Structures are given as structure tokens and as C-alpha cells.
Structure 1
Amino acid sequence: PHNELAPWDREFVDYWNPVDLYIGGVDHATMHMIYARFFVKVLNDMNMLGFREPFASFYSNGWVTVGNTKISKRAGNAVGPDDYVEQYGADPVRLYILFIGPADQDVEWTGEGVEAMSRFVRRLWRIVNDVAQNAPQGGGQVGALTRKTHATIVKVTDDVGRRYAFNTAISAVMELVNELSRDTHGPEARFAAETAVSLLQPYAPHVTEELWQRLGRERLWAEPWPVADASLLERATFELVVQVNGKVRDRVEVPVDASEDELVAAARESERVRSFIDGAEVRQTIVVPRKLVNIVLGSSGTN
């Protein structure tokens, strides 16, 4: 402020610029950004700036609409979040705003959507509290839920950090919570619950901080972002579809490295399948690796 020879310190300005990411509507790309780019290029030509572009990258967000009309003060259809926050709390409103659709596309605002997200938050509260009270500490067991948890970490990290796909990141955590709800007392439940809470923290900081403490932890806001174990991302098993005469009769989990003979054996050992093939003539067995086994019976067999 005391420099009477220059409007700014170029070294200081060059250190902080260009802006890493500019987020704005399409009108910004055709107005504000044109002005900014013009001025920066002129100042660069004058040797007053060391960069020629004001923004390293630009992300164009979509509009929020009501009745297919863009929300704006000029249109008189502005939706204030305060009433929704008072009724449902800040976290469900934040979650809904980010879940409503892809950030780069227009989305329609509905009060029902906030209510639905409030139901999810209440369900999350019940499930995680159940885990906190009943699931064993530690565990260390690696099964389907743990692998699902690590896969969710990868997806959410990529969706948020690279794609700005906040809606699909929230959806991925919802899927993890659904899996967790099937076994809240098991040895893998606590790790899954802690991860789900941690991944939701940027969206719902209030409820997740409380749940984190109920899980016996402290200060979620100070915790590092979850990191997936790459060795657990490759599934050890897969779901083998078992057909009899082309109709699906069962699905069984088998090792990914199982041989064709082992796949056939696993298919024939299924109790559901045996009820169809016992005593029948097996004319052919078709194996599609990593996918299905189809047992074809003779004319006297079941259809």
C-alpha cells in the first residue's frame, strides 16, 4: 500500500496466479472471462504480469431451476435455503444440493428431494450408532464388505478430486451404507462405518463429526482423507451365474482363478441346481469363464 511506483508487487502477484480453477455459469465464459483474459494479456504485454491466462482451468456449472426456469432474483423465483435448514438441518440441505445432479448440468429443485436426503441422514445415524454399540473393535477380517469399502474410497476420491461428480460420490457412499446395513455387528462393520462417515464429512460436517465421536474417535475434521489399499481392490471371488437349460437357477461365489472343471463342480454342488439336474441326463455343459455355467439337460430334463 505504500508503493507509489507500481500498482502491485509483480513477484507477489505472479506467485499466487493464475487462479487454479474458475467455476461459473456459461455466462461467465462469454462475458467475465473475456474481460479478465483481455486485461491479463494486455498487462502481460506491458510486462506487469508474468502470465498470460488468468485461470488455469474453467468449470462451467449448470443452472438450478424451478419449473424449468433458472432461479434468479430477476425472475423472482429465488429459493432460500434457510427454511429448509430450519426444518431438516444444514447437512441434508447441503447433501441434496450436491446430490441433485451433475454439477455441469441444469437441475430442477424440489423440496421432496431435501426430505428424501433427510431420511438418508436419519438412516445413516441409526446404522452407524448400531455399529458403534455392537460391532467389535479392530476386526482385521477382509471380506466382501471391506473390499467394497476400499472400492468406494477409490470411486469417491476420483469423483470428487478429478471429475467434480459430487452426486455420484454421494451415491457411492449410499451403496456402501446399504451393504453395511446387512451386517452392522460383524467384524468388518466398524471399518466400513468409519469410512462412510469420513467420506461424507465434506458434505455433511455436522452429523459426521458427531457420528465419528460415537464410533470412539476424535476430531474428524483433522483426520486425513481415506486411502484405499490397492491389494484389496482386486476381487478374490466373483459371482458365477448357473443356468439349467438357459434359465438362471442360482448364483454362487467362486474364486476368480477357478478352472473350468472347478466352475462346473461349484455349479453342480448348488442345492438349487441339484433339484433340477438330479436324475436327469446332462447332454452338455457350457462354460463362459468368469461369467456363467449352463447345464443343458436331455429332453426328459426340466425346462
Structure 2
Amino acid sequence: MWIRFDLCLLVFLLAAGQGDAQDAKPGKVRILLLGDSTVIGTFCRDLYPKADHLEDVVRKLLATEPDLAPVEVLNRGVNGDMVSLLLARPRRYESDVVKQPPLDFIFLRYGLNDIRHVKDFKTEFPASYKKLIARLRADQPKAEIVLETVIPFFSDERNRTINDHVRAVAAAEKLPVLDQHGPYAAGLTKGPNMLFWRRLPLKDVPVKYHALIPPESICGDVVHVGDNLLDVHLAKVPDWFKDRHPNLAGYQVLGTQLAGYLALRLREKAKVEKIQKSTPATPK
């Protein structure tokens, strides 16, 4: 199953079912996000600590709907993370997964670092992913596990290689795939760099523009900008648009996909539970 949402579809999904808004709400839904730097968004957190980050976008979108249960979204992405690294770090896995109260959903987005650092990606990545899924099923048996495609980060061919393997693993494990790549790529048609971070060594920025750089954007000897503030001056500077990490606008896209998927699934589950409660028990 391959799923993607756009903003119009999200509005429909969030609006559907409001006729049941007076029904008693179930308990809080607990959601875990696992993955790499494109999940945790360290650059955004460091430069814009009070902004809405990925987990905030998901929570706030779902919180607007009176028929949906409140959600708690735990973002446990780690810079540079790979499936094999998560498996090789028992303390982190225990803290992020095993010791968590029962989870309802676990979203996994891996592959960007794996394809760069795993020696035999085509063999080792699927094997490690399946091992992780087995452990998650054992340690959080009530959680629905969802694999996500990676965002446009490398060449089209390399991105496709990663996502083909993600979908193959999901098919083998009978798990859904939430497509993040397609909607992100669609967003980039409105501007090829509008969803990406800007990062460049200060020494590579022409001196005459140094005074225009906000002080908080200079981190050590690197300039970090999360929008198009300096594009008019630096667009032609080599590597100004090289970084492919999401900016805050990028996380709005990613959060919209997550919220859309969750709205659909939560309403599906609520309907099933309602039918089960209204169906008389069969005498033994």
C-alpha cells in the first residue's frame, strides 16, 4: 500500500467524520518517529527553537479536529542515523522504543545515510530493516508500523534506488508505505530550493554581504539560513543551494503527509471499534 496526501486531501480527511464529534473520545494516541537528520531537523531546532517542528505540525493539524483523539508525537530522529546503527545501539533502542509506554504508531524513514555508508546496500539495508521491524513488533506489539519514502536528497536515480528498496521491504513485511518523496518533489516544482536549508562556510560568502547575515545565522564558521532571505545576493555563489535538508517549510510538507495518514487511520479504527461495540456478542 502506497499512500500520499496533498493539502486538499488533508482538509477532506480532517473534516470527515465531524458528525461523530459528540462521541466520547478515546485516549491519547502515541506516535513515534524514527529516522535520520531529515526527521529530527536539528538545523531548524537550533536556529528557530520556538518554531513548529515536525512533531508540532502533526500534533497541531490533528488537534483542530474535535472527533480525533489527542496525539502525542515523539520525534526520536538522530543525525546520521542508519537502520544498522539503531540496531547496534541497545541503550538508545531501549530508551526510544522498549521503555516507551505502549505506542500506537511507529513511522520509519531510513535510507539516506544507509546508501552512503553500508557496504552492500542492496543486501544489507533490506536485511537490517526487516530485523528492525521484527524487533519493533516484539517490543511494541500494539503499534502500527509504517515505512516512509525518503525526500528528494540525491540524484533521481539514487533516490529511486532507496525508495524501491523501502517499498520492497514494506511489501515483504506487509506494511504500508507513506510516500514523502512525491509530495515533497511536487512542492519543489513551485521553487527548486523552497523546501531546503541553506548552509555555506562564511569564508565562501563575499565579504560585502557579511553585514547582511543575521548574527544568529552564523554558527561557528558556517552560515545557516532556513529561507530565501539571502538568495538575491548569494544564489550564484557556488554551493549556496547544495544542502538538501528540509527547512521549516519542508517540515510542513512532511507533517502534512503524516497528519493526513493518521487522520485516515484513526477514523478507520474508530469506525471498526464502533461497529464492534454495537454488535451483540455471539453466545457460546
| TM-score of the two chains, using structure 2 as the length reference | 0.22
- Rg larger in structure: 1
